Amino acid sequence: MLAYDWNFSAQVQHVTAPAVDYGAIAPTLIVFSGACISVLVEAFVARPARWSAQVALMLLTLAAAGAALGMHLYSRGATPVVTLAGTVAVDGPALFLWGTLLALSVGAMLLIADRTVEPGGAFTPDAAVRPGTAADRAQAVGTLAQTETTMQTEVFPLFLFSLDGMMIFTAANDLLTMFIALEVLSLPLYLMAGMARRRRLLSQEAAVKYFLLGAFSSAFFLYGVALLYGYAGSVQLSRIAEASAGTDRPDTLLFGGLALLIIGLLFKGSVGPFHTWTPDVYQGAATPVTAFMAACTKVAAFGAILRVLTVGFEGTRWEWRGLLWGVAIVSMVIGAVLGLTQTDIKRMIAYSSVAHAGFLLVGAIALTSAGLSGTMFYLLAYGFTTLAAFGVVTLVRDADGEATHLSQWAGLAKRSPLTAAVFAFLLFALAGIPLTSGFTGKFAVFSAALADGMAPLVVVALVASAVAAFFYLRVVVLMYFSEPAADGPTVSVPGTFTTAAITLGVVVTLLLGVLPTFALDWAALGGFAS
Amino acid sequence: MNGGAVLLAMILLPLIGAAVVALMRTAPVPAKATGLGFALVELVLAAVAWSGYQPGGGRLQLTLSVPWIPAFGTRFALGVDGIALVMIALIAVLVPIVMGSSWAERLPEGRTPAGFYAQILVLESLLVGVFAATDVFLFYLFFEVMLVPMYFLIGRFGGPRRQYAAVKFFLYSLLGGLVMLASVIGLFVVSGRRLGHGTFDWAALARIASTIPTSTQIWLFLGFFVAFAIKAPLVPFHTWLPDAGAEAPVGAGVLLVGVMDKVGIYGFLRYCLPLFPVASRTLAPLVLVLAIAGILYAALLAVGQSDMKRFVAYTSVSHFGFIALGVFAFSTQAQAGAVLYMVNHGISTGMLFIVIGMLIARGGSRLISDYGGVAALAPVLAGMTLLAGLSALSLPGTNSFVSEFLVLIGSFPRQPVFTVIATTGMILAALYVLWFYQRVMQGPVRGAAVVGALDGPGAATAPQAGAHRKRINFPDLSIREIAVLVPLAALILLLGLFPQPVLNVITPSVGATVTEVGLTDPVGQGGS
């Protein structure tokens, strides 16, 4: 309406600021403030003190956001709150996913902040140096003496901005807010992917690839939003749902819009066949960043998928669900089969994440309360397992940095039994062996899917799990049953931060496998605000 | 008296033992002794459980149930019937024997006995758990997790092709397990529709079993069937067993073939039959065909084996066919025979495996053709092998005869054709056992492994008549080895002559199972 009224001064008086429920959105505000302060720290704090200041700020921010979340839950429970003129919904799923994101980012932050495993930290102090030059080689071999000065700390504000984007992404109740959150979460990630200290060329390739493909997917998303706006006259999910209920509007716009929108989301969640960036970016990015992306981006993307499908498109589920069946199957098959052929451990976990994205989609399209809580539980479980797995990957190193080629992992159990045991446990969790969170998550998701009449899909998923188990097992075989190579990698003694992150991941993986009740109850706390 | 506490203790104790033993990595002998000590305490606990069980009492006894994951309708519920109880007793008996037989096992380089004994204890705990679980979810959990210690036992401590065998074993079992998971989840969903809330409680599921539509039952049955048929294993799902059995270290092999495979048959009895009665009756011919095919096919392959451990694995597949025949004949007599057979097979095949392991430890070769005339050098070893072999071919007077006979006479009224065909398997059993014994033990001293042991490698080509004087390198059984074998030999004879105490425990439970399938015993047959 505003745009058509040329009498601007008259209009101003009619604008009333929307009511803002500051208590409900406090966690995102705190993270956002933390990110802004972090930029200031980067600008004004002297270099030697920057790392400590940033780490303290990160911990403080995450703790404060967690406390705000806890206070909100304690005082108001999971009663849905829709605020900011209906653009943000703080409801049960949003709260659970916020909690998940904050908890996972504690682990990711610890990995990012570590600067003893890779002397000086995993990030290049000078990203503009041309790869392969003498200057590049000099910065790659960060010596312990340089540790204090060369830690790249601008990764911290980027990390917080991205996290804030993810949090808003999962709570966005209209598609424009969702799009803005998508950009806020993505842009820092593109940069972070290109900041690895070692193998600069690979890292830059990852960043460019992620950026170009990400830009494409954002365009898809935006085009979808436009079509849906054309269909419903609104970008609010609930309005779209209302519009699609028994009208004679053209279905082409609705389903065309949904298709484009969902492609954008599936891309972010690295669901096959929209996964092609995943292996390259996982491999090229610095491993702590990969851990952050693998754990948190998936949570954000699936949070959004769940919300869009449940709130916006539940009424038309019979029209689109068949297609997503197909997507889920493709994703599971691609992840499981291509994972078999990988020789690089990071690429292998990347394909495993594609397979897991397929499993998650199976739960996400169930559109029942069990499906919702199961999928969210799966996100929590998978996030911590994969975080810890990447944490272990950072530890196995040779002179050229991380030893990610699978053959270099041979006989690891003999050299460092504890690292091998931890990694074997995490692999069993990824494979879904009982007494790990991986099994509980699979059970929750598949039982929801089966109860919703998707038995064939569940059988396909289970067969895919069996295939995927082979490549996890292959690593266990290498570590335990093979003889170590003479010039194999050594396992770094992890610093406090990495130890804490891996311990956190392993403990949660075990806890959610043995006593998952509290998390399951929390995930089932409430449905979406409509 | 809360009997469930005994079962819980039987699950926890070996785990504690494993943790203790694993910490004693640098002290091999105390580690082995500690492991054996825990296994013996476990045996005492098994005796307590046995004495606490009342045959003919409740369907499930020694129960214990605490809430676990309410969202999945699952409880940590333990309990045993007669079938589970005898299997748990078998485990408790076999584990100390396995430990004794592995005392001087030559492990691959860099592996410690502490690791081996700890894994055996973990496996024991999980095996007890899988038989004691009365909650389908809990059963599934143990069923899958027990793969992990066995995988490490084969892969870390096994023979030359251990990697291949371990992965093959794990993937086969995992695939079966995941197919079963689909059915487990299906069962949960179905129970949710019937009862209003999903449950995994075995007794509750058995009560609603007959109300589940036939087509649903068949799908769910097939999911369980695939897992159990791989585990049992039935032909054509058996190909992992010869590899795993041959490459596994002897101790693990005994538990693999003697106990773990029985989980498949036990699963048929405890889960498939009572939970899917209509499907079990409908699909029984399918299982019977596989069982009969297994008896004959595996027996023929056993005749042709050149590797001694693979030979034992194939004889086991053949025996499993008999057991499956007994289970799916749906009469109390046949099923009681089948359960007794499970116990007897564990004892006799366990003994056969162990004596063959002792033979291999002396000769350094697994090939039958490398041996000959061992009886002249090691008469006690030969005698023990003969006893185990005769039990494997079900000679009257040995334990297996009782069970095989019960299976056959129990099956005949309902399945005469299948039973008659199965009987020919007994002839093949006599063939493979006796021919094996003849080649390895009898005749003149010959074969690279034996002659090499006599005169050193150089003399292998020219055996001398006077070689007997230098027999020090192919010694007869040591005191430890005899002590390991005597309990098994005693059980073979004891259960051959007085099977009734065990049958008394088994029969009421299998009688209840037959009733749960919705059938009555054929005329003229009742519980024994």
For chain A (530 residues), the mean pLDDT of every run of 10, in chain order, is 54 74 94 97 90 94 96 90 91 95 96 85 81 77 53 90 97 95 96 89 93 95 95 92 84 92 95 93 95 96 96 90 95 95 95 96 93 96 97 88 88 88 96 94 95 92 92 91 78 86 96 94 87
Residue B377 lies in a domain: yes
* A425 contact residues in B (CB cutoff 8 A): none
pTM: 0.92
Residues of A in contact with B170 (CB under 8 A): 469, 473
Residue A121 dihedral angles phi and psi, to the nearest 5°: 95, 160
Q: What gap in Å lies between CA B151 and CA B144, rounded to an integer?
A: 11
Q: What is the pLDDT of residues B213-230, one digit of tens each?
A: 999 999 999 999 999 999
Q: Which of B489, B73, B499 shows the shortest CA–CA distance to A370?
A: B73
- Predicted pLDDT at A11: 57
Torsion sign over Cα A203, A207, A210, A212: negative
- Is A450's Cβ below 8 Å from some Cβ in B? yes
Measure the CA–CA gap between B372 and B441, rounded to whole angstroms: 5
Pick the residue of A373, A454, A460, A462 with the most B CBs within 10 A to test the interface with B by mutation: A462
Q: B-contacting residues of A 452-471, CB under 8 Å?
A: 455, 458-459, 462-463, 465-466, 469-470
Q: In angstroms, rounded to a whole number, what is the distance separating the alpha carbons of residues B387 and B364?
A: 23
Shortest Cα distance, chain A CAs vs residue B129, angstroms: 14
* Domain with B330 in it: 286-462+469-528
Report the alpha-carbon distance of residue B7 to residue B267 in Å, rounded: 19
Q: What are the distances in angstroms from CA B208 to CA A180, B47, B139, B203? A: 53, 34, 19, 9
Nearest CA in chain A to B164: A477
Q: Is A5 on the interface with B (CB under 8 A)?
A: no
**Contact criterion met (CB < 8 Å) for A477 and B186:** no
Interface probe for A, chosen from B146, B152, B181 (most Cβ of A below 10 Å), is B181
List pLDDT tens digits, range B381-395. 999 999 999 999 999
Judged on CB neighbours under 10 Å (0-12, 13-18, 19+), A445 is buried
Is pLDDT above 70 for B525?
no
Q: Is B145 on the interface with A (CB under 8 A)?
A: yes
Please confirm whether the linkage preceding B233 is cis (ω < 30° from 0): yes
B440 within a domain of the structure (yes/no): yes
> Which residue in the block uniquely carries the two structure tokens 């997503």?
A324
Q: From the CA of A473, how many Å to the nearest CA of chain B?
A: 7
- Select from B69, B162, B179 the Cβ nearest to the Cβ of A516: B69
Interface membership of A517 toward B (CB under 8 Å): yes
Residue B106: which H helix or E strand, with range? none
Query: pLDDT (tens digit, 9 = 90+) per residue, B52-104?
Result: 999 888 889 999 999 999 888 899 999 999 999 999 999 999 999 999 999 98
Q: Write down the pLDDT at residue A280.
A: 95
Using alpha carbons, list the distances in angstroms from residue B322 to A385, B75, B109, B408.
45, 35, 40, 8
- How far is the C-alpha of B259 from the C-alpha of B213, rounded, in Å? 34
Contacts of A426 in chain B (CB under 8 A): none
Task: Pick the range with the lowest mean pLDDT from B130-134, B414-418, B523-527.
Answer: B523-527
Residue B497 in any domain: the answer is yes
Q: Which residue of A has its CA nearest to B159?
A: A481
What is the pLDDT at residue B467? 47
Residues 479-508 of B with CB under 8 A from A: none
For residue B442, being part of any structural domain is answered with yes
If DSSP codes are grouped into helix, strand and coil, which group holds residue A81? Answer: strand
Query: Could B174 and A466 be called an inter-chain contact, meaning their C-beta atoms sit closer than 8 Å?
Result: yes
* Burial classification of residue B275, based on how many CB atoms lie within 10 Å of its CB (0-12 exposed, 13-18 middle, 19 or more buried): buried
Closest residue to A517, CB basis, from B69, B185, B192: B69
Sign of CA dihedral A480, A486, A489, A491: positive
Is residue B2 included in any domain, yes or no?
no
- Map residue A367 onto helix, strand or coil: coil
- The verdict on a CB contact (< 8 Å) between B166 and A481 is yes
Do B182 and A524 make contact, defined as CB atoms within 8 angstroms?
Answer: no
Q: What is the DSSP string of A132-168?
A: TSHHHHHHHS--GGGHHHH---THHHHHHHHHHHHHH
Q: Is the pLDDT of residue B197 over 50?
A: yes
Confidence of residue B459 (pLDDT cuts 50, 70, 90): very low
In a domain, B443, yes or no: yes
Do A85 and A176 meet the contact criterion of CB atoms below 8 Å apart?
no
Query: What burial class does residue A33 get, using C-beta atoms within 10 Å of its C-beta: 0-12 exposed, 13-18 middle, 19+ buried?
Result: middle
Within B65-213, residue ranges assigned H as helices are 82-101, 113-132, 136-145, 147-157, 162-195, 202-208
Residue-wise pLDDT tens digits, B361-380: 988 889 999 999 899 889 99
Residue of B142, B152, B178, B195 for testing the chain A interface, max A β-carbons within 10 Å: B178
Question: How is B189-234 classified by DSSP, letter by letter?
Answer: HHHHHHHSS---BHHHHHHHGGGS-HHHHHHHHHHHHHHHHHHTTP
For residues A261, A266, A269, A274, the Cα torsion angle rounded to the nearest 10 degrees is -130
Decide: A283 and A350 in contact? Cβ < 8 Å.
yes
Nearest to A384 by CA among A493, A512, A267: A512
Q: Is residue B34 part of a domain?
A: no
Report how far residue B291's alpha carbon sits from residue B297's, in angstroms, rounded to the nearest whole number.
Answer: 10
Distance CA A120, CA A155 (A): 13
- A179 and B CB contact within 8 Å: no
Q: Give me the pLDDT at residue B433, please.
A: 95
> For chain B, what is the domain count?
1
Cβ atoms of residues A338 and A351 within 8 Å: yes
- The span from the CA of B463 to the CA of B112, in Å, is 38
The strand pairing partners of B78, in sequence order, are: B64, B133
Q: Is B171 on the interface with A (CB under 8 A)?
A: yes
Q: Is the pLDDT of residue B470 over 70?
A: no
Eight-class DSSP state of A312: I
Contact call for A455 and B192, based on CB within 8 A: no
Question: How high does pLDDT run on average in chain B?
Answer: 90
Cβ neighbour number for residue B128 with a 10 Å cutoff: 32
CB distance A183 to A217 below 8 Å: no
Q: Looking at CA atoms only, how far is residue A355 from chain B in angstroms?
A: 16
| Alpha-carbon gap, residue B358 to B215, rounded angstroms | 51
CB A405, CB A344: distance < 8 Å: yes
Report the pLDDT value the prediction gives residue A7, as an integer from 0 to 100.
59
Count of C-beta atoms within a 10 Å radius of residue A409: 25
Q: What is the 8-class DSSP label of residue B159? A: -
CA distance A78 to A63: 20
Q: Does B171 sit within 8 Å of A473, measured CB to CB?
A: yes
Per-residue pLDDT, A198: 83
CA angle B438, B439, B442 (to 5 degrees): 55
Alpha helices in B329-444 (DSSP H): 332-363, 374-377, 379-392, 399-411, 416-441
B115 touches chain A (CB under 8 A): no
Residue B305 belongs to some domain of the structure: yes
**Facing B182 at nearest CB: one of A439, A451, A458:** A458
At residue B475, the pLDDT reads 87
